[in-house]
Amino acid sequence: MRSVVATRYGGPEALRIVDAPAPVPAEGQVLVRIAASSVNPLDWHELRGRPYLVRIGSGLRRPRTPARGSDLAGTIEAIGPGVDDLLVGDEVMGFGVGAWSDLAVVSARGVVRRPATLGVHEAAGAGIAAITALQALRRGGLTGPRTWRPGEVEPMPPRVLIIGASGGVGTFAVQLAKLFGAHVTAVTSTRNLVLAERIGADELIDYTTTALDDGLRRFDLVLELAGARRLGELARLLTPRGSLIACGAPRGQWIGPLASVAALAVRDRFSRRTFASILARRDRVDLGMLADLLGTGALRTVVGEVLPLERIAEAVALSESGHARGKIIVDLTGP
């Protein structure tokens, strides 16, 4: 079977496609024939081994696990001992290790059944990006659709600013925030304004022509998904009880945002504002919720590029450039 591996840390040039033996599922695992995967910042952060702190778990000098790729959509071909809620032949979606391969063994807790109404490309693009968006919004205080009792005055919708609204996480964040009843302002480039409006943004800011801090806007939640702005400047955009959630950073420099968030939290320790930097947890309950929303059409994956496995290095380079629109899908159905 084909498998994309990296036996050293580096950029896209470190990736190779090799002929590997088919893996066998162990206890609690399933063997999935992969139809499609996608590329996430997580993938190239791990490929480069940055920040270096992550190498403590993944290998100091070289990757301990060469197989690459996280998101997946495919068909279960075999089941390991102890798996009783999935069957051979089930169409599934989720995440694991080694998803840029024709076959991969993954934890049964990392996949759910793919809705029949959801295509494999859309399913493969959801996993980590959609869960990241959901958990970032939740950390910022948006936990689901708003409700109020009969006779109560409908509350004002929370105002949410999403920086990086046209990327993989951003496109999910805009849609989920709208589903949760928020008024969404999307920050993106000129070429992506139409996309941001199409997926539900109420207001648009073209960062190439318009300053964020015009003295007029204040937000209950700011999501910084692009990693390109000083968090101290963004903190000035918050309401007195607002939240600033940083998620991701350019070129694998995660330590910078973590330090900035910590500094803001200390500086504002007596305020009621929230500052946090998050990495998504691979939660099956969240994955199932997102699969249901995708299956009904309430949420959709914005597919940008679809590239065959043979062009995986190109796909990773595009993701790392920071200029991808929506999700970059890797198709494995070809020879």
Domains of the chain, earliest start first: 2-126+301-331 (3.90.180.10), 131-277 (3.40.50.720)
Please check whether residue 98 is in contact with residue 135, taking contact to mean a CB–CB distance below 8 angstroms.
no
DSSP tag of 197: H
Name the helix (H) or strand (E) containing 211: none
Please check whether residue 47 is in contact with residue 6, taking contact to mean a CB–CB distance below 8 angstroms.
yes
Query: What does DSSP say about strands 91-95 and 71-79: parallel, antiparallel, or unpaired?
Result: antiparallel
Residue 154 burial by Cβ neighbours in a 10 Å radius (0-12, 13-18, 19+): exposed
The string of pLDDT tens digits covering residues 126-165 is 999 999 999 999 999 998 776 666 666 667 899 999 999 9
Closest Cα partner for 47 from 16, 93, 2, 1? 16
The reported pLDDT for the residue numbered 60 is: 79
Instruction: Extract the tokens encoding 333.
Output: 């159905």
How far is Cα of residue 86 from the mean position of the Cα atoms in its chain?
25
Closest Cα partner for 107 from 119, 120, 94? 94
Q: Is the peptide bond before 150 cis (omega within 30 degrees of 0)?
A: no
Whole-prediction pTM value? 0.92
Region class of 282: left (phi > 0), else alpha (psi between -120 and 50), else beta: beta
d(CA 211, CA 215): 10
d(CA 105, CA 193): 40
Residue 223 burial by Cβ neighbours in a 10 Å radius (0-12, 13-18, 19+): buried
The reported pLDDT for the residue numbered 238 is: 94
The reported pLDDT for the residue numbered 119 is: 98
Please check whether residue 210 is in contact with residue 230, taking contact to mean a CB–CB distance below 8 angstroms.
no
d(CA 223, CA 159): 11
Name the helix (H) or strand (E) containing 119: none
The reported pLDDT for the residue numbered 230 is: 77
The reported pLDDT for the residue numbered 61 is: 86
d(CA 151, CA 14): 62
The reported pLDDT for the residue numbered 113 is: 98
Please check whether residue 36 is in contact with residue 309, taking contact to mean a CB–CB distance below 8 angstroms.
no
d(CA 289, CA 281): 14
Query: Which parts of the chain sit beneath pLDDT 50?
Result: 252, 254-256
% of the chain beyond a pLDDT of 70: 89
Residue 103 burial by Cβ neighbours in a 10 Å radius (0-12, 13-18, 19+): buried
Residue 60 burial by Cβ neighbours in a 10 Å radius (0-12, 13-18, 19+): exposed
Please check whether residue 106 is in contact with residue 72, taking contact to mean a CB–CB distance below 8 angstroms.
yes
Beta bridge partners of 308: 331
d(CA 220, CA 229): 18
d(CA 279, CA 132): 7
The total of other beta-carbon atoms located within 10 Å of residue 218's CB is 14
